[in-house]
Structure 1
Amino acid sequence: MGCLGRRAPRERPRGRQQATTRTASRTCPPPGGRGRSTDSAPLGSVGSLTRVTGRRRFLLSAAVILVVSVAGGWLLSRVGEDPSSNEGVVVLSPGSTDQDPTIGTNALNTGKSFPLVEVETLDGEPVTLGEADGRPFLVNFWYSTCEPCKREMPALVAAQAKYEINIVGVNPRDSAEAAREFAEEYGITYPLLRDPNGASLAALGVGTFPMTYLVGSNGTILEQHAGEITAAELDRILAPVGTGS
């Protein structure tokens, strides 16, 4: 059955003025939409969707700005902090002197073969890191401005003399001159190598400094230690393989 039109309004005397004038709707209400005219836009109209989408976009942008501001403030608050109490530090970017506590970013390599990687001596001569000569050896990753690296150097120097084990220090950051000055200051007599391209770091998944590996006579990684290594820890890992007393 079709929609019935509304009755026309009765004629009123011309001399009487109406306060308001109503016009009969020319459309029928949609099914289920009693009492609502289609002259006005429904809730799901393009205009309302645009307004909702705009509000969501604004709220999302505000949330992103808030997160970035909080993170930026935290990072700024860390600049200039004294990292001397950190057990390990992470290199944030090449050439940076900022140091932050380690967050366990080193790959687990115990039981794997130590990778053969080309590095260089302080004189610039190429040499292969990881070549086993039938004896266990210790590889220590360090750099001169790393505070935990400085603290552990006396223990490493003493361990080399005590256990007569080969120790190699690998530096991915410093110049050859800076490495020599560091060695002279701390009395280091074992070989120091440079890895300016970070090839050994990539091969081993090193993300924090200092980092120390004990490699067996067959080239297998027996132990790895992230952060400052103590004399007691060196005694524990070197006593079974060292030749000293």
Structure 2
Amino acid sequence: MYKKIFGVVVIVVLAGIVLFNYIEQQNQTASDESNAYNDSGDSETQGGSISSVDEENMLKVGNTAPDFTLETLNGETLQLSELRGKKVILNFWATWCPPCREEMPAMEKFYNDHQEEVEIVAVNLTDSEKKEEDVHTYNEKYKYSYPIPLDRKSDARNAYQVVTVPTTYFIDSEGNIQQIKPGPMDYEFMEDTVNSFN
């Protein structure tokens, strides 16, 4: 009789330990996921953390947009300064970033509706990808038509001090930064922001 009671107690204790460990693991996973996309300190921002911030030397609204030259997914060369005369939505993204993937269909629609006066440039942070082929595979699947430069050596990312992805810079036709938007955008936000400057 005592052996049966002892056996039941042991089973209950072991089950309790397993349950406790499972709950702790789930809490840790949830905590990791809630922190995985935002390292900016802004509780309203969603995005993937890339690096820390140098607040003293950060780009600000009104600054001239740093120039860069990168190869695009289709093998062409894109130099940002050659887009002067058009408004530019300069977006930084990665295939592993859920908020980036979330906003890209709206970016495609906006590009199709406004490409005569607004250029969308979606810089892929290629050095953060598992392999460059992932970017090609992703775009083959979704067929986004706006230019996708490959930032293989973090040149553009460093120039723009990108901390989280997605991050988007709205640049006027004279090459000046008019808005900086961390986190995903929707169509209405892009339209309102672009219409708010020259």
* TM-score, reference length from structure 1: 0.55
Report the Cα distance in structure 2 between the residues aligned to 1:193 and 1:215, rounded to whole angstroms: 17
1:232 is displaced (CA, Å) by: 2.2
2:122 counterpart residue number: 169
Any idea what SS the aligned residue of 1:119 has?
strand
Q: 1:170 corresponds to which letter in structure 2?
A: V
- Alpha-carbon deviations, 1:123-173, whole Å to 9, x = none? 555542343331111111001010000100111011112222211110122
Are 2:45 and 1:89 equivalent residues in the alignment? no
User: Aligned partners of 1:195, 1:201: CA distance in 2, in Å?
Assistant: 7
Q: Which structure 2 residues correspond to residues 82-231 of structure 1 after superposition, within 5 A?
A: 87-91=46-50, 107-122=58-73, 126-164=77-115, 165-173=118-126, 174=129, 175-231=131-187
User: C-alpha offsets along residues 71-122 of structure 1, whole Å, 9 cap, x if unaligned?
Assistant: xxxxx93586375897122026xxxxxxxxxx97783421111111232222
Is residue 123–residue 176 contact of structure 1 (8 Å, CA) maintained in 2? no
The 5 Å alignment of 1:15-26 reads none
Q: Which amino acid aligns with 1:90?
A: S
**d(CA) in 1 for partners of 2:71, 2:119:** 17
Aligned to 1:69: none
Preserved contact between residue 178 and residue 197 of structure 2 (Cα < 8 Å) = no
Instruction: Give the secondary structure class of the aligned counterpart of 1:180.
Output: helix
Q: Figure out how many residues of one structure are paired with residues of the other and give that number.
A: 158
Q: What's the counterpart of residue 8 of structure 2? A: none
Determine the C-alpha separation between the residues in 2 that align with 1:112 and 1:118.
19
Greater relative contact order (CA < 8 Å, ≥ 6 in sequence):
2
Q: Distance in 2 between matches of 1:105 and 1:146?
A: 23
CA shift in 2, pair 1:231/1:127, >3 Å: closer
Q: TM-score, normalised by structure 2?
A: 0.67
CA–CA distance in 2 between the matches of 1:155 and 1:125? Answer: 24
1:182-225 alpha-carbon deviations (Å, 9 max, x no partner): 22333310111111111111111111100111111111111110
Instruction: Classify 1:127/1:239 alpha carbon distance in 2 versus 1 (closer, same or farther; 3 Å).
Output: closer
1:16-60 superposed Cα distances (whole Å, 9 cap, x missing partner):
xxxxxxxxxxxxxxxxxxxxxxxxxxxxxxxxxxxxxxxxxxxxx
Identity %: 27
**Structure 2 CA distance, aligned partners of 1:235 and 1:88?**
21
